[in-house]
Amino acid sequence: MAKVPVQFTLNGSEKAEFVDSGTTLLNALRDKVGDTSPKGGCHQGTCGACSVIIDGELRLSCLTLAETCDGAVISTTSGLSENGVLHPLQRAFLDTFATQCGFCTPGMIMAAKVLLDHTPNPSRDEVVEALSGNICRCTGYEPIIQAVLTAARANSQNAA
Amino acid sequence: MAIRRGRGVAAINYPTGMNLGGDPTQALVHSTPTGNFMVTLSSVDLGQGMKQIMAQICAETIGVPTDRVVVDTADTDTGPHCMGTFASRGTHRAGNAVIQAAREARQVMLEVAAEELEVNASDLETDGQGNILVKGAPQKSISMFDVALSAHFKRGRSISGRGMFLIPRSYPEKETGAMKPSTCYAHACTVAEVEVDDETGEVTVLTVKNVFEIGRALNPKMVEQQLVGGSWMGISHALYETTEPYYPNRDHGGTDFNQYLMPGPGDLAETEIIVLERPSADGPYGAKGPGEMCANPQIPAVANAVFDAVGVRIDTLPITPERILRALKAQAAN
């Protein structure tokens, strides 16, 4: 079968790949581009571990075909830190011990980032809503909710 | 038909390790030429923090900062023997093995330092910052870096140690059946408050208050992290999770994350965690196994709270709305 050419921007860099038709964005990112920060948990859109940001919206990369991302701007957790300085969400997840095995963490952080991009000072309920598509097996969620609220506070202090 | 409130309490004790063919874990420790220490294990870090805890234990025993220790849990083909990360045994079994290995390595380190400083090894102590000092005369000292260089390039010594911690297999006494299948019991108590809708059978956990006695908390934040997650898992076991809801019949068993129920971030009960530290005699620096036990007391506590709320005793997990409604129906029929 003929390969399909796809070009997109990933974390600020141009990427061009030939993928098999039907390849998911998750597999294209992990196996072709080499960005393994999105995780493959269920491969059917129920766990959220593969969450990435496409053109500003939170999307499940396991349910998104790579060939539909031509020209898209994609962000993943691996592109969040700048010059070795962690993103406030990454910092907050570390500082509040919001990660154990870490498998859900990249998806959680992307879901939280979209929330904070649109709602810089979310309520607890808004955080819960934003994370409700992501499954975590280790933490019992409370530390993750606290991490997102902590990052929001850090952002608003920096802005002030 | 009404929403009824109930409160339940439960207490547990929970063992560390298990009793199959004996319960061994080995550890090897060696220094690199620059005076860092390497701990080699086959025990696995599943995210519970095994590597961090083993680094702390090794550093504490040898007398160097934790960031001077690297833990490799790479490969069961090549690493020293470990029964595995399960039965809440990682910290206790591997920790004891690491202490043994680190003591042996420390002894060699002190011997080399003694030769360099021209003193007796028994007159040396460590400052915890990577230096070895003469007791009472701390101006006479040598860094771990220089000790390692000397051992590797001058004196042909390997600053290393072997550790083997084994709980031997316990056999039952023929007459009484008495045996010692496990060691080092942790304890916990939970009070759960629930609301039960006696029309739908639905249970809402309002609060869970947990007290855990886990020996010494070697890393208090990581212990708290496990206990918070474990308390959530306990509620999940009590009310939601099963692969065979009609066991042994497989019908209606979940086959993916859509059907396998776990509480999400919107279903959290108000959770309180209190840690009691009662250092254990045989644990590494007093630690016990907090891993599995922290997800246990919530289950009987919730079952008791449901009984307190609606007067039915559910003895099969999970405590689903269907089971509660069937029990309520049976109770009304009687």
Q: Which residue of A has its CA nearest to B260?
A: A46
Residue A45: helix, strand or coil by DSSP? coil
Q: Do B47 and A47 touch (CB under 8 A)?
A: no
Interface check A47 vs B, CB under 8 A: yes
Q: Do B256 and A46 touch (CB under 8 A)?
A: yes
Interface check A143 vs B, CB under 8 A: yes
Q: Does B190 share its domain with B327?
A: yes
Q: Return all residues near A88 (Cβ < 8 A) that are at least 6 apart.
A: A151, A154, A155, A158
Interface check A142 vs B, CB under 8 A: yes
Residue B284 lies in a domain: yes
Rg value, chain A, Cα = 16
Where in B1-104 does DSSP place strands (E)? 3-16, 23-31, 37-40, 69-72
Q: Does B240 share its domain with B270?
A: yes
Task: Tell me which of A89-103, B2-16, B79-93 is least confident.
Answer: B79-93
CA distance to partner chain A, nearest, from residue B292 (Å): 12
Interface check B271 vs A, CB under 8 A: yes
User: Which residues in chain B are closer than 8 Å to A42, comparing Cβ atoms?
Assistant: 256-257
Helix, strand and coil content of chain A, in percent to the nearest 5, comes to 40, 20, 40
User: Which residues in chain A are closer than 8 Å to B221, comparing Cβ atoms?
Assistant: 97
Residue B102 has pLDDT above 80, yes or no: yes
Q: Which of B46, B225, B262 lies at the smallest CB-CB distance from A139?
A: B225
With cut-offs at 50, 70 and 90, classify the pLDDT of residue A105: very high
User: Which residues in chain B are closer than 8 Å to A132, comparing Cβ atoms?
Assistant: 264-266
Q: Does B51 share its domain with B7?
A: no
Q: Does B136 share its domain with B205?
A: no
With cut-offs at 50, 70 and 90, classify the pLDDT of residue B18: confident
Q: Please state the rounded mean pLDDT for residues A29-51.
A: 97
Q: Does B199 share its domain with B310?
A: yes
For residue range B124-142, what is the model confidence (pLDDT) as tens digits? 999 999 999 999 999 999 9
Q: Does B29 share its domain with B134?
A: yes
Residue A160 has pLDDT above 70, yes or no: no
Residue B175 lies in a domain: no
What is the set of active-site residues of B? Answer: 292
Closest Cα partner for B287 from B36, B35, B53, B6? B53
What is the spatial distance between Cα B221 and Cα B288, in angstroms, rounded to a whole number?
A: 16
Q: Does B233 share its domain with B281?
A: yes
Q: Does B226 share its domain with B309?
A: yes
Please state the domain count of chain B: 2
Q: Hunting for tokens 């299948």 — which residue is that?
A: B181
Q: Does B37 share its domain with B133?
A: yes
Q: Does B208 share its domain with B140?
A: no
Q: Does B124 share its domain with B189?
A: no
CB neighbour burial string for A98-135, b if at least 16 within 10 angstroms, e if fewer: bbbeebbbbbbbbbbbbbbeeeeebeeebbbebbebbb
Q: Does B36 share its domain with B105?
A: yes
Strand partners, B6: B194
Residue A1 has pLDDT above 80, yes or no: no
Q: Which of B47, B233, B265 lies at the smallest CB-CB distance from A128?
A: B265
CA distance to partner chain B, nearest, from residue A89 (Å): 18
With cut-offs at 50, 70 and 90, classify the pLDDT of residue B121: very high
Q: Which of A102, A103, A142 lies at the smallest CB-CB distance from B228?
A: A142
For residue range B181-209, what is the model confidence (pLDDT) as tens digits? 888 899 999 999 999 999 999 999 999 99
Q: Which of B225, B262, B266 lies at the smallest CB-CB distance from A100?
A: B225
The full set of domains in chain A, from first to last, is 3-77 (3.10.20.30), 88-159 (1.10.150.120)
Domain that holds residue B220: 3-16+184-333
> Which CATH number is B291's domain given?
3.30.365.10
pTM for this model (two decimals)? 0.92
Residue B172 lies in a domain: no
What is the spatial distance between Cα B65 and Cα B237, in angstroms, rounded to a whole number?
A: 40
Residue A156 has pLDDT above 90, yes or no: no
